Structure 1
Amino acid sequence: MKAAPLKSGLAAACLALSLTGVLAHGDVQPQPVDTAGLASLGEAWRDENPYRGDAKAVAIGDSGFNQNCARCHGLQVISGGLAPDLRYLPLGKEGDEYFVERVRHGAIINGMTKMPAFEGVLSQEALWAIRTYIEAKHEE
């Protein structure tokens, strides 16, 4: 008879531990992105991706994305459904405009932060490198 309380206690502990992961999702500190080797972009935000097609930017963006974006947008930019699948973001200026708006200002829907604002958190160089990486993973 003593095994029943032990089993139910173990089940409750497992449930509590699994919920902490769900409740903590997205509640993390942004990680710095080392942009050494990329041209400095200055203070004024660019309208178009200045690193488009740059292999160094793709590599830096890969690291930056997987440290800061993959929790919601999925490893290798393959979303599991929590956030938009960025592989389908339009290429070129159209996609750049959407990207800049979202990464700079975030997204708040019905009073809930769906995506944090990264302006002032990650550099313009880091964010454009992430965009370059996303473009390298593009699918139609």
Structure 2
Amino acid sequence: MKHPIRVFAAALALAAAITPAFVQAHGPVTPQAVDTKGLPDLGKQWRDENPYRANPHALKVGASAYNQNCARCHGLEAVSGGIAPDLRQLDRDCTGMKNAAKKAACYKEMDNYYLTSVRNGKVRNGAVYMPPFEGVFNQEAMWAIKTYLESRRESN
């Protein structure tokens, strides 16, 4: 009888050899360009809240940009497969708030958290969990993606 660990290791090696690169979750990837034509120009000053909230064209641009650049880690249609956070829940602490002023402040805070995360990436103990996208995507692309994520938001 063959040793079970050797059998498992051989099966794992075979699976890795025949699995297409696009199926493997992490690894070197090249970000895809985001066409932001038709969106209002936001200028050089970074906004502190989503200026495209409820903009239908931004939603379309954001959906395409997300699915080309973010879905490989955060899941198709923002439904996480467990590799990275489920971004439908990004604003979950805000959605159930009854006080309108507190709810608006919460969304603004989450917009800031989102933008900081996308611009600077996520690094812990020297390990890159998410690469920085500042200089790769412009502000318009980042806010369009946030608009898409808001459309996918799970309610409490």
- What's the TM-score bracket when you normalise by the shorter of the two chains? 0.7 to 0.9
Partners of 2:22 and 2:35 in 1: CA distance: 28
User: 1:24 offset after TM fit, Å?
Assistant: 6.8
Greater displacement, 128-137 / 89-98: 89-98
Q: Could you tell me which residue of structure 1 aligns to residue 145 of structure 2?
A: 130
Where in structure 1 are there 5+ consecutive unaligned residues? 1-8
| 2:77 aligned with 1:76 | yes
Partner of 2:30 in structure 1? 29
Q: Quick one: structure 1 residues 15 and 41, their matched pair in 2 at CA, closer, same or farther if it must change by over 3 Å? A: closer
TM-score relative to the length of structure 2: 0.77
Q: Which amino acid aligns with 1:109?
A: R
Letter in 1 for 2:35: D
Change (3 A) 1:17 1:51: same
Give RMSD over aligned pairs: 2.3
**2:97 matches 1:96:** no
Q: TM-score, normalised by structure 1?
A: 0.85
Distance 2:152 2:114 in 1: 15
Give the % identical residues: 54
Segments of structure 2 that go 5 or more residues without pairing to the other structure are 1-9, 92-105
Number of corresponding residues: 132
Residues 2-21 of structure 1: matches in 2 within 5 Å? 13-18=14-19
